[in-house]
Amino acid sequence: MQTLWAPWRMSYIDAPPKNNCIFCDKPKETADKENFILYRGKLSFVMMNIYPYNNGHIMVSPYKHIPSLSKLEREDLFDLTLLAQASIQILEKVFKPEGFNVGANIGKSAGAGFAEHVHIHIVPRWSGDTNFMPVLAETKVMPEHLDSVYEKLVILFTQKDFFS
């Protein structure tokens, strides 16, 4: 039997439940690297998911605390969508995935972890990236550390040509 170590998960498991919103709180801080914020736009921003489904799993969120895409004003929706498009282009360049899952879980019953603040998940996918581990062992193997993924992505997110 092999043992898989994921010690960074313990801080999440031991943490008391929070009633705050990461999509409101984290952009107010100045610790982008520690918060895995990759890009700050005028109306939206991009941050990595620290409990990713796959390497490169990012989230695009408006700054406004709004629960659904249907409630966003046109300008916010347009900015969010353009930022999602640029994010996909960057992920294509860095990771060369074979596909993507892109979507928003709107509402608690749809699986939203932060149901009151809409955000778009972008998950790079490769053929064979799912295997028996999540099904049989309830374990997901991530081949690359979050810090390494951040360093690869932030370089391109700081280049203006993706956002013009």
Annotated catalytic residue, options 57, 65, 117, 119:
119
Residues β-bridged to residue 56: none
Query: Could you tell me where the DSSP H helices lie in 37-99?
Result: 74-95
119 is an active site residue? yes
Distance, in Å, from the CA atom of 26 to the CA atom of 71, rounded to the nearest integer, reads 22
- 102 in helix, strand or coil? strand
Query: Any residues with CB less than 8 A from the CB of 33 and at least 6 apart, and which?
Result: 150, 154
Chain centroid offset of residue 137 CA: 24
Annotated catalytic residues are 119
